[in-house]
Structure 1
């Protein structure tokens, strides 16, 4: 036998490393349970280990971070300069020129700080592109039309699918103005279509050119950073040029899928198109909230993960792309690597056209194309440089992406998958976790860790079920997506066959919906977290501390203790929750829920803590559901909707879910009609009767009594017009307590209540404390306590300073949901008191 130092025989010396692999096999990296464990079109779609290197070798190579710095500089500087919107274009371009000259000088001078040169050049490019983009949005005929306020003939190219807004029935879309009157231009705008003509706009496809008469409205300082104005019109579109061939084909495919899923139940019919082509027009608010609470919202609309799945089917796992064992349809057809990469590029382009160029789709497509280029040229694939390079190029091309929430979530999730995901997976395997579970669990945890700070920065909520729900969702998404694409492809040829495919695809879609709903139904599915930059920094610190303590947390007793604590937090038994939080306070009589810019008031009958009457539901199903859960309310004999504006009724699905509701009472005016139609549909689906409030109506529940003060019969003379003036106003009495709840009444209706009610202890100030108050009525009510249900940083300026001064001049104590959170009114030893939660 030959010793270890002897030369191998000639018959072996001529073999490649791949061919000699059977003699000394390397352990293969564990496969994911489903294809979707592949990072979003990044690390495993195109590129991987070199020939002869196993997947584990690819994972062990150090990360290539050379493009990360320039990408971060471009992103950060573009985000900082976007709000300027061309106001300081000369200064910005001058600074860009200076940075560019300095960076180029460093680079050409062959000095060592090449990284500094790259960062300076990146900053110069970002400042230049953002400055020019801002200048283009503030100059030209479209901004001038917005400043004038006059109507004009506009020629427009549609760039997005028109969508009907549920709140007011208007149709909203994006487009590019090609001309105003006879002045040529190219200005991106948002279009809002009102009136009967709105339905005609819904038939338009992207790339259609139309003519219309419209007014332009300037973009507010906090408005979208990528449009020059908002166009308002009530005209029917006059089509000048129809959609191009790719858009016609994509429109036909999307329409075919809608027909294929038509026989399915409502939830499956809504979600399957969203998974396949990004069509979320049929998603219900209740289903949206379930996915939001479990951090599964990336699944309700198409994203890079869908492209990953299709790429795996075409090319196979990237770790085997340059080995004889490479998989995928391309290998089965005998296509070489370059032809497979070209096929992947064509698939990516078709995917973007079909699913529309949303920010997350663009990010995934650009990253995938960079990886495919590496595959075609024989270069070693590396997902992090591909992600950084794609991010840099996209933001330079469209600086508005720097402010895109969807783009940021997509990029951060992918960054987590390709940086810490493999290392966490290896750590889990080393700790004894089964290999098939370790990889998807590490991927879900990594994506959540990277996206969590951005989520709390925006919402101030932290999902405690996100990782397990995402892990379970992995089992459903891949088959649902593949079957959905199959139905989409078959529908134009054989609709009946496509419908049967959709029925099969509805099974994993149903399972996915159950995961979201069961996770969201847990009382502790979400927890409040400090909002803003402090909350994001705190979450980063907590995550780092948990990672650092991972070895200590693996001890059996510690792990079991933490598991029990997590279970208690998720289930939140009412006695334990009250003991831990002090909420709700004993003896509460009324709670004004912090639901943002809207109203949701809970009235207790005093004898049963699980029963209450609800006045309005706010704009957010999740917010009102969380408030009711915290109060332990499971039975609501009556829900009173003061009027049909979205900030008072859109939360109704969250109230109806998993609660016994006796009836829903509405006002006498069905305005806006679209919102009332939604209320009618929600109540019909829940089997809850819908009744009308009648002036003078008196009801009682336990110690709780209330009387309807307003509105009168709308057919009577002198009734003030408008939905706000049709608000249901109530006089509520409890032992030792009188409360007036005025909905959104405005002065014409408020004046009609003078003499109908005397002094009260508590006043729910009308219309969120707007300036539209009747001083005589407030003086007659002379409340001791005023409740203001208002959203933080709302764009309406509520509450108005004049209203606050009026209340305080009467000696009234004012409390606000935007500053104190949930507000509980109670009597303590006969004295009026307020307890707060979420300050």
Structure 2
């Protein structure tokens, strides 16, 4: 059966038009809408309007006109909003609001704050009350208690302009009143969401957070490391509500209805109620509405095959863009459409090809995730700069338990409402399934070849992906080829070919862990001492794996900032329980032996002599300042000497700390300098002159928001004649000593 492509062009053009018009003045959108509608009317009235090509152009023009008109209306609402004028004046107002996006908690300056999406119904400013319906983002001090969708509250807030073109303003709440309950259906939805959380609250934090995310997209409590593992392994779609979630829920609901011998009309009514209930549970956000549409597309594909499914997908895209044109620029929308299209177009022929030599269920389990992953690869590369290699394998491993976890989690919540103990039993089942998914993501993200950086233009993948898909389809009927590719890919994932890495004679390495620090000092053939562990467990684990480090003699945490300590679990994973050395800022994680070091301490670890130069003994530093300067200047600073070379490890020492260290009279001259504070612009010229390094390593994240390394810091290195290597451009930076000569290798 040939694929129906007639509606693909209108859907694609509507998408492009919406993406352009939501970033343009409303008058432009009005012009496009009028032109398209007039064109459709003119063509519909001519004599040859019944010709197929003309009918297609008329349909295309009508779709574009409708979407453009929606863009004009939406953009004009924001442009003409009195709230935007008040925001420009930084006015203080009293606003009557309703929560439209559940609040999330975050830490700001050491205190708990919340952010929520609100709709402003009325605002009072300068003695005048204005009615409106503008969407805003609100920042509030304190926890997010009670700030769930549908509830109302009155706030006193200062308005500021919003960078989001969809919003009229940002509300910085000064004072908030009591939260008023929402409509009955929203309160019922919130009680069920809370019941789901209660049903799995006795499980591990990862499981207790993942189950609500699978069932209802409630990922507020999900640890950042789990999110990173899912992103790296192509499992991110499980963390957000998708068409898959709705399909699973509808399949269970309809199966129960069929078991009760319901008539076709009853089945239809039950299905519609299931969709409405799902939207209420998961919230009517754009992503949920998109999921509902994509879930219906999935059902259409089951009923009519890929031909009808692709037609339904095109209709869904046009309708969703008409309802919310801002979806055209949303990453989630792009991923969802691409994945669904990939499954509809590529999965059936690939399944048929593989079915020539394997069971159909096995062929389907391979074809579906492979088709989806190939389809979303260009988008993922565009937004993350990486191409996931392990995604298909991770989805194959996690896929079988997604539906059981979702269904068990949903029924656990429903049961908890009437029988809490029974709900916890079902919650245990859901938690076990979720735990397997977490372990798959953690294991897969730790593989050396889990993802590769894509530094070229993302659009270069557009011709590459179809060629790869065609080549795999061309040879998919040959088991030797498929099995050979799978074995080769598995070997590459476990330990990618890296001739000459790590280089012979390597003694130390600055790991590429993004915007953070992780320095490895080699202490034996497969052992090391790690100084700081970066912000990402997976990144530091990959670095240590690539260097062949299987045992740690110790971990030094220079100071208690996330970009230096949050990767601890990845550093110690499978490498024993090393002692943890800290200074006056920071502490060892629970369960690890802690040793506090200070000026004058000398450590001997393998071939290394480590002399602690800073900080002096004293009270612990607790830094709640926006820049954390006190903790930075309390960084453990050490002179590491071995193999006839010396290296100064400085943490995030800033000018005050650098000058204070010089005043102690310590000899800071070194061959290698670990650049202080990622090469920030705040450095002491006297300090660099005193160190006078030949080589500097700069641990810094690509395209970071801090402007590191600063031009002034690099000029200081130039002035003292130092050559430098930076992890954002050079990757892992390894120091090598051969025949008494110091050199640098990168990967």
Q: Is the 8 A contact 1:162 1:173 kept in 2?
A: yes
Give deviations 1:557-580, integer Å, cap 9, x for gaps: 5455434423321332xxx8442x
Match of 2:273 in 1: 346
Q: Is the 8 A contact 1:348 1:369 kept in 2?
A: no
User: C-alpha separation between the residues in 1 aligned to 2:298 and 2:483?
Assistant: 43
Give deviations 1:240-274, integer Å, cap 9, x for gaps: 63222222111111111222212233443232222
2:432 pairs with 1:489? no
In structure 2, relative to structure 1, the CA distance for the partners of 1:137 and 1:269 (3 Å cut) is: same
Displacement of 1:73: 1.8
In structure 2, relative to structure 1, the CA distance for the partners of 1:147 and 1:63 (3 Å cut) is: same
In structure 2, relative to structure 1, the CA distance for the partners of 1:568 and 1:669 (3 Å cut) is: closer
What are the ranges of 5 or more consecutive residues in structure 2 without an aligned counterpart?
none
Q: Is the 8 A contact 2:88 2:160 kept in 1?
A: yes
User: 2:236 is matched with which residue: 297, 300, 307?
Assistant: 297
2:54 pairs with 1:113? yes
In structure 2, relative to structure 1, the CA distance for the partners of 1:166 and 1:414 (3 Å cut) is: farther
Match of 2:27 in 1: 90
User: 1:238 is matched with which residue: 155, 174, 177?
Assistant: 177
In structure 2, relative to structure 1, the CA distance for the partners of 1:691 and 1:697 (3 Å cut) is: same
User: C-alpha separation between the residues in 2 aligned to 1:780 and 1:141?
Assistant: 59
In structure 2, relative to structure 1, the CA distance for the partners of 1:732 and 1:129 (3 Å cut) is: farther
In structure 2, relative to structure 1, the CA distance for the partners of 1:129 and 1:743 (3 Å cut) is: farther
Give deviations 1:582-602, integer Å, cap 9, x for gaps: 322222233222222222222
Match of 1:620 in 2: 536
User: C-alpha separation between the residues in 2 aligned to 1:373 and 1:300?
Assistant: 24
Secondary structure of the 1:281 match is coil
2:705 pairs with 1:795? yes
User: C-alpha separation between the residues in 2 aligned to 1:659 and 1:89?
Assistant: 59
Displacement of 1:419: 1.7
Displacement of 1:212: 2.7
Secondary structure of the 2:10 match is helix
In structure 2, relative to structure 1, the CA distance for the partners of 1:499 and 1:771 (3 Å cut) is: same
In structure 2, relative to structure 1, the CA distance for the partners of 1:329 and 1:748 (3 Å cut) is: same
User: C-alpha separation between the residues in 1 aligned to 2:36 and 2:211?
Assistant: 49
User: C-alpha separation between the residues in 2 aligned to 1:338 and 1:379?
Assistant: 22
User: 2:649 is matched with which residue: 728, 736, 741?
Assistant: 741
2:357 pairs with 1:419? no
Displacement of 1:387: 1.9
In structure 2, relative to structure 1, the CA distance for the partners of 1:279 and 1:291 (3 Å cut) is: same
Q: Is the 8 A contact 1:337 1:375 kept in 2?
A: no
Q: Is the 8 A contact 1:668 1:713 kept in 2?
A: yes
TM-score, structure 2 normalization: 0.89
In structure 2, relative to structure 1, the CA distance for the partners of 1:721 and 1:494 (3 Å cut) is: same
In structure 2, relative to structure 1, the CA distance for the partners of 1:475 and 1:241 (3 Å cut) is: same
Match of 1:261 in 2: 200
Equivalences for 1:31-110 in 2 at 5 Å?
61-82=1-22, 84=23, 86=24, 88-109=25-46, 110=49
Q: Is the 8 A contact 2:293 2:316 kept in 1?
A: yes
User: C-alpha separation between the residues in 2 aligned to 1:126 and 1:635?
Assistant: 59
User: C-alpha separation between the residues in 2 aligned to 1:628 and 1:65?
Assistant: 49
Secondary structure of the 1:795 match is coil
Give deviations 1:272-322, integer Å, cap 9, x for gaps: 22222222234334443443343223224443212111212233xxxxxxx
Equivalences for 1:188-337 in 2 at 5 Å?
188-194=135-141, 198-199=142-143, 201-220=144-163, 224-233=164-173, 235=174, 237-239=176-178, 241-315=180-254, 328-337=255-264
What are the ranges of 5 or more consecutive residues in structure 1 without an aligned counterpart?
1-60, 316-327, 671-675
Secondary structure of the 2:527 match is coil
Displacement of 1:359: 4.5
Match of 1:780 in 2: 690
Displacement of 1:92: 4.4
Match of 1:533 in 2: 457
Give deviations 1:660-706, integer Å, cap 9, x for gaps: 24023344245xxxxx8xxx6xx32xx32344343333222122222
Match of 1:364 in 2: 291
In structure 2, relative to structure 1, the CA distance for the partners of 1:694 and 1:831 (3 Å cut) is: same
Match of 2:557 in 1: 641
Q: Is the 8 A contact 2:294 2:340 kept in 1?
A: no
2:470 pairs with 1:547? yes
Secondary structure of the 1:331 match is helix
Give deviations 1:351-405, integer Å, cap 9, x for gaps: 11212235443222124457889999x9999222222222222223223322222
Displacement of 1:791: 1.8
Match of 1:595 in 2: 513
Q: Is the 8 A contact 1:457 1:531 kept in 2?
A: no
User: C-alpha separation between the residues in 2 aligned to 1:557 and 1:383?
Assistant: 33
2:406 pairs with 1:464? no
Q: Is the 8 A contact 2:101 2:285 kept in 1?
A: no
Give deviations 1:422-474, integer Å, cap 9, x for gaps: 22111111x22112212222212211221222223333333333223322323
Displacement of 1:501: 1.9
Q: Is the 8 A contact 2:102 2:147 kept in 1?
A: yes
Secondary structure of the 2:150 match is coil
User: 1:434 is matched with which residue: 348, 353, 359?
Assistant: 359
**CA-atom RMSD in angstroms:** 3.3
Match of 1:805 in 2: 715
Match of 1:321 in 2: none
2:103 pairs with 1:162? yes
In structure 2, relative to structure 1, the CA distance for the partners of 1:551 and 1:375 (3 Å cut) is: closer
Displacement of 1:79: 2.9
In structure 2, relative to structure 1, the CA distance for the partners of 1:760 and 1:98 (3 Å cut) is: farther
Q: Is the 8 A contact 2:83 2:168 kept in 1?
A: yes
Displacement of 1:183: 4.0
In structure 2, relative to structure 1, the CA distance for the partners of 1:304 and 1:558 (3 Å cut) is: closer
Secondary structure of the 1:726 match is coil
Equivalences for 1:165-180 in 2 at 5 Å?
165=106, 169-178=112-121, 179=123
Where relative contact order (Cα < 8 A, 6+ residues apart) is larger, the structure is 1
Please say which of residues 536-545 and 808-817 is displaced more in the overlay: 536-545
User: C-alpha separation between the residues in 1 aligned to 2:149 and 2:429?
Assistant: 31
Give deviations 1:535-567, integer Å, cap 9, x for gaps: x53475155235335444654654554344233
Displacement of 1:180: 5.6
Secondary structure of the 2:580 match is strand
User: C-alpha separation between the residues in 1 aligned to 2:306 and 2:481?
Assistant: 43
Displacement of 1:487: 0.9
TM-score, structure 1 normalization: 0.79
User: C-alpha separation between the residues in 1 aligned to 2:19 and 2:139?
Assistant: 26
User: C-alpha separation between the residues in 1 aligned to 2:614 and 2:80?
Assistant: 50
Match of 2:373 in 1: 448
2:680 pairs with 1:770? yes
Q: Is the 8 A contact 1:285 1:653 kept in 2?
A: no
Equivalences for 1:591-740 in 2 at 5 Å?
591-605=509-523, 608-669=524-585, 683-684=589-590, 687-713=591-617, 715=619, 722-740=630-648
Give deviations 1:74-99, integer Å, cap 9, x for gaps: 223333444x3x5x443443344334
In structure 2, relative to structure 1, the CA distance for the partners of 1:184 and 1:700 (3 Å cut) is: farther
User: C-alpha separation between the residues in 2 aligned to 1:99 and 1:588?
Assistant: 66
Q: Is the 8 A contact 1:360 1:406 kept in 2?
A: yes
User: C-alpha separation between the residues in 2 aligned to 1:371 and 1:486?
Assistant: 23
2:666 pairs with 1:756? yes
In structure 2, relative to structure 1, the CA distance for the partners of 1:553 and 1:772 (3 Å cut) is: same
In structure 2, relative to structure 1, the CA distance for the partners of 1:542 and 1:284 (3 Å cut) is: same
Give deviations 1:322-354, integer Å, cap 9, x for gaps: xxxxxx333344443343223212211211121
Q: Is the 8 A contact 2:510 2:518 kept in 1?
A: yes
In structure 2, relative to structure 1, the CA distance for the partners of 1:831 and 1:245 (3 Å cut) is: same
